[in-house]
Amino acid sequence: MTKRKSLVPEARNALNGFKAKVMADKGYHANNPDDIKFEVAKEQGIPLKKGYNGHLTSEQAGKVGGPIGGNMVKEMIRMAQEQLSKK
């Protein structure tokens, strides 16, 4: 699997920190934010491994990435609403 490139490469560390914080709030903890996907996969019973995972179905991949990205988006919306309410 290739790593996605950020539109702003300098933002990668901040995004990883944000992912770690959001997922820690949901009860997931990993030394490396990129390893959170392995915790989610294990919980879902999905055989995710390091490296290429072409054997996974779209549904399985979505069950791993969906909770991570979905929780990050929910938190960003919550933060934006909070900022808007302060104006």
- Answer whether residue 64 is part of any domain: yes
- Answer whether residue 4 is part of any domain: no
- Answer whether residue 46 is part of any domain: yes
pLDDT, residue 31, reads 86
Query: Helices marked H in 1-87 — which ranges?
Result: 12-25, 36-44, 58-85
Cα 61 to Cα 45: distance, rounded to the nearest angstrom: 12
Nearest to 63 by CA among 47, 39, 41: 41
Q: Which segments of the chain have a pLDDT < 50?
A: 1
Distances, alpha carbon 16 to alpha carbons 12, 31, 65, 75, in Å: 6, 11, 14, 14
What's the structural domain count of the chain? Answer: 1
- Answer whether residue 3 is part of any domain: no
- Answer whether residue 76 is part of any domain: yes
pTM, two decimals, is 0.80
- Answer whether residue 19 is part of any domain: yes
Find the domain containing 53 and state its range: 9-85
